[in-house]
Amino acid sequence: MINLLPPQEKEELLLEKSKKLAIIIGSMILISLCCLVLVLISLKFYILKEVFYQKTILSNIEKQYQTPDSMQVKGILQKYNKTFASIDNFYKTEIYFSDILKIILEVQRPQDLYFTNIVMEKSKDKENRVKVGISGVSNTRDDLLVFKDNINGNKKIENVYFPPDSWIKQKDINFSLTFEINIP
């Protein structure tokens, strides 16, 4: 088919067609936005209704559990919770002296070296540190030197101190030493 319309009318028809298309697209967008607003408003009212319902249930339950018996049980439970918290704190900060004794006994001793006394005390200056004092008997000074080297080689033991009087005798030595152990 041949279009015999002049170019000006062709432009007007095209412009009119574009206007109709813009009106249709604009109205579709406007209708979609209106539908979205309506859905959101209905959702808002639904949520408000649910919140009110849940608050009502909560207030009923709170009234139910405000009886003197339930308040007494609540007090008892709070008292036990405080007790358990303090017990838990005690066990977390407790140092097990058996672990310290295990570290001491892991240090190799010569066969003729014996402990006569072991004193362990938790350090007041630093947490997780224990001061240890050991006294004992060694048959020879060489055995005591071997023990000193072994105890200095242990990485968990620090600040080892042998008093000078432990090194005076050659045989049948009564020795004492002090050191500190870091507990992880």
Q: Could you tell me if residue 2 is inside a domain?
A: no
**Helices (runs of H) and strands (runs of E) counted in the chain:** 4, 4
| Interval 106-158: pLDDT, tens | 888 888 888 899 888 887 777 678 888 999 998 888 888 888 888 888 888 88
pTM: 0.49
Residue 120 · residue 134 · CB < 8 Å: no
Neighbours of 141 (CB within 10 A): 16
Range of the domain at 166: 97-182
Q: Could you tell me if residue 145 is inside a domain?
A: yes
Residue 160 · residue 177 · CB < 8 Å: yes
Domain boundary residue, one of 58, 73, 94: 94
Secondary structure of the chain: what % helix, strand, coil (to 5)? 60, 20, 20
Domain boundary residue, one of 94, 123, 140: 94
Q: Label residue 107 exposed, middle or buried (CB < 10 Å: 0-12, 13-18, 19+).
A: middle
Domain boundary residue, one of 94, 117, 146: 94
In this structure, the answer to whether residues 101 and 22 fall within a common structural domain is no
| Interval 7-22: pLDDT, tens | 888 889 899 999 999 9
